Amino acid sequence: MELGIRGRKALLSGASRGLGRACAFALAQEGVDVTIVARKRDALEKTGAEIAAATGVKVTTVAGDITTAQGRSAALAACPEPDILLNNADGPLPGDFRDWSRDDWIAALDAMMLSPIEMMRLTVDGMMARGFGRIVNIVSRSVKIPQLELALSNGARSGLVGFVAGLARQTVGSNVTINNLLPGIFDSGAQRAHIEGMLASTGKSFDELWRERAEANPARRYGRPMELGAYCAFLCSEHAGFITGQNLLIDGGSYPGTY
């Protein structure tokens, strides 16, 4: 299928590795010029070079922290008028809410709710004026299936999802859609960090937990980042203008509900 977005410009944060990188790759394969943001320059430059070599699109790299005002300014300076915005960054580590201070909660809200909202604030009016925009937030299944050890994610990400539900209905009339992708278990960095964070409390080895989590999924495996990248590219396509405000699970069927 021709997605109809060749020559469009995408700004993607959290895109040097894992799910964000897969989204950048999938968009670039459709002829979209990509600006990718991450904090560590080496991995970012490597990914940028790989995408450019594989697809021939224009790739711009910005080394910065998207959860800071400085990082957001640098990202938007490199890509001032994005047609496509992907909001993504690190999620929280597992823990017990009894151990978290107000500062921990504020940091979680900054990273998982306020930073994506600020990126939308800075880009959505331009998209509406130009008559095209696709915004995708990488969130988590934790907003539909609370993850007991991930209360910071359950709480902060739900704030983002609630906000998007309202904004998405105000932008779609100008052909600007906003959707949230809710990954289940994926074979990428956040999953590894999550399992590392569960070793002490479970007394199990990394390999044991890794295997158990795959076996508990109806698909009996982890998601592949490129599967999420392809979904993202479709949501950013010209064909997806009637899909907005949705929370889209991509989890191998782990969500147990019928609807």
* Closest CB to ligand NAP among residues 60, 175: 60
| Rounded Cα gap, residues 116 and 27, in angstroms | 20
Burial class (CB in 10 A: 0-12, 13-18, 19+), 25: buried
Min dist CB 158 to ligand NAP, Å, is 13
Min dist CB 19 to ligand NAP, Å, is 4
* Closest CB to ligand NAP among residues 129, 199: 199
Where on the chain is the footprint of ligand NAP (CB under 6 A)?
13-20, 37-40, 43, 65-67, 71, 88-91, 138, 140, 183, 185-186, 188-191
Min dist CB 68 to ligand NAP, Å, is 8
* Closest CB to ligand NAP among residues 55, 191: 191
Min dist CB 228 to ligand NAP, Å, is 8
| Rounded Cα gap, residues 106 and 114, in angstroms | 10
Other C-beta atoms closer than 10 Å to the C-beta of 69 total 10
| Rounded Cα gap, residues 218 and 223, in angstroms | 11
Min dist CB 94 to ligand NAP, Å, is 11
Those residues whose C-beta lies under 8 Å from the C-beta of residue 246, and which sit 6 or more positions away, are 179, 180
Q: Which of 221, 202, 203 is nearest to 211 (CA)?
A: 221
* Closest CB to ligand NAP among residues 16, 179: 16
Place of tokens 């915005």: 85
* Closest CB to ligand NAP among residues 3, 19: 19
The token pair that represents 116 in the structure block: 């994506």
Min dist CB 116 to ligand NAP, Å, is 10
* Closest CB to ligand NAP among residues 15, 151: 15
